[in-house]
């Protein structure tokens, strides 16, 4: 059975047929008469809580939520250098991974490669398997938007110099080893934690946000 996560700022809504195994407290919400937009409006912008919708058919619950929102598609990459380090960017005062919106008639995988190359000034050598999909919600004007991001595993030759795309708000781009991830884990988005778990950079037990 499929389980889903929707991120609302630093809050996470789990939609699942069983409660996720985690130490962090989770607040269960009644599926009957559930209105996602009401939940979205009620969650404090600076909150860091986990919520759970428990249902025998999480896919149907997720689909209902998705159909009630405006969908935007994006794609990004988890890039590994030949030295075994990973590419991270610093944008909007948080650590992040390169990603961006999919253009009209563009395939998700192609968009991921283009965005990484544009945002970090690198040439991608291989654009490999899809690691995961993440979903996060925000508003554009009066619309509540669900952004679906496909994440891909990528490599580069050697470990090239990075050129952050400053016009996209990226102030820094760095190659980091798995032993240097503490600052990232303490100041990133829950969706990025999910990508790092999917890429086996850390186990779920390691991914406690600071």
pLDDT at 209: 40
Q: How far apart are CA 206 and CA 55, in angstroms?
A: 27
Q: How far apart are CA 173 and CA 121, in angstroms?
A: 10
* Residue 42: partners with Cβ closer than 8 Å, 6 or more residues away: none
Q: For the CA atoms of the chain, what is the radius of gyration?
A: 17
What would the two tokens of residue 121 be? 């000034």
Rounded (10°) CA dihedral 57, 63, 68, 70? 150
Q: How far apart are CA 16 and CA 3, in angstroms?
A: 5
Residues paired with residue 8 on neighbouring β-strands, in sequence order: 11, 137
pLDDT at 198: 95
Give the other-Cβ count within 10 Å of 125's Cβ: 16
Give the β-pairing of 126-140 and 99-101: unpaired
Fill in the DSSP letter of residue 205. Answer: G
On whether the pTM is more than 0.95, the answer is: no
Q: How many CA atoms lie within 13 A of 35 on its CB side?
A: 5
| Alpha helices (runs of H) in 7-124, residue ranges in sequence order | 36-42, 58-67, 108-120
Identify the structural domains of the chain with CATH numbers, from first to last: 4-67 (no CATH), 74-206 (3.90.79.10)
Per residue in 52-106, pLDDT tens?
999 999 999 999 999 999 999 999 999 999 999 999 999 999 999 999 999 999 9
Q: How far apart are CA 135 and CA 55, in angstroms?
A: 19
pLDDT at 1: 55
Residues paired with residue 175 on neighbouring β-strands, in sequence order: 87
Q: How far apart are CA 68 and CA 146, in angstroms?
A: 9
pLDDT at 204: 52
pLDDT below 50 — which residues of the chain? 205, 207-210
């Amino acid at each position: 059975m499929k389980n889903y996560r929707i991120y609302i700022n630093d809050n996470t809504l789990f939609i699942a047929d069983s409660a996720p195994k985690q130490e962090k407290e989770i607040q269960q919400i009644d599926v009957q008469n559930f209105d996602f937009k009401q939940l979205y409006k009620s969650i404090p912008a600076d909150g860091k809580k986990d919520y759970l919708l428990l249902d025998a058919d999480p896919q149907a619950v997720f689909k209902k939520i998705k159909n009630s929102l405006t969908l935007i598609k994006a794609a990004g990459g988890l890039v590994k250098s030949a030295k075994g380090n990973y590419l991270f960017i610093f944008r909007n005062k948080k650590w992040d991974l390169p990603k961006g919106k999919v253009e009209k008639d563009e395939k998700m995988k192609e968009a991921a490669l283009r965005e990484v190359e544009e945002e970090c000034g690198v040439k991608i050598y291989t654009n490999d398997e899809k690691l995961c999909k993440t979903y996060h919600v925000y508003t554009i004007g009066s619309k509540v938007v669900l952004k679906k991001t496909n994440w891909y595993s990528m490599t580069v030759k050697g470990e090239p110099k990075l050129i952050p795309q400053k016009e996209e708000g990226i102030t820094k781009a760095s190659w980091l080893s798995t032993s240097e991830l503490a600052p990232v884990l303490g100041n990133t988005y829950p969706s990025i934690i999910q990508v790092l778990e999917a890429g086996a950079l850390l186990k779920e037990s390691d991914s406690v946000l600071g």
